[in-house]
Amino acid sequence: MGRGRAKAKQTKVARELKYSSPNTDFDALQRELGSGDDRFAARSDDDDQVDARWAEYSYDER
């Protein structure tokens, strides 16, 4: 007993999340995405070695 009230609250929150349309700050998003931070875009020699190892692997070998 007592589960009905909790389930009703969860349903209400889920419905609010589903049907709400939050205001998106597209200018802030553009600044964040276009910040010029390339630390994730650079590849290292380690990445090339991993790629070479996977290129040698054959899925037919078992």
CA distance 25 to 33: 12
> Per the domain annotation, does 62 fall within a domain?
yes
Say if residue 52's pLDDT is above 90: no
Domain count, the chain: 1
Q: Is residue 41 in some structural domain? A: yes
**Does residue 11 belong to any structural domain of this protein?**
no
Predicted pLDDT at 51: 72
Q: State phi, psi for 24 to the nearest 5 degrees.
A: -100, 130
Residue with the two structure tokens 């205001």 = 23
Predicted pLDDT of residue 10: 95
Residue 16 token pair: 């609010």
Residue type, 25: D
The pLDDT tens digits for 1-51 are 578 999 999 999 999 999 988 888 899 988 888 866 565 565 666 677 777
Question: Considering the domain boundaries, does residue 58 fall inside one?
Answer: yes
Q: Please check whether residue 57 lies inside any domain of the structure.
A: yes
Q: State the pLDDT at residue 5.
A: 92
Range of the domain at 51: 24-62
Q: pLDDT at position 39, please? A: 59
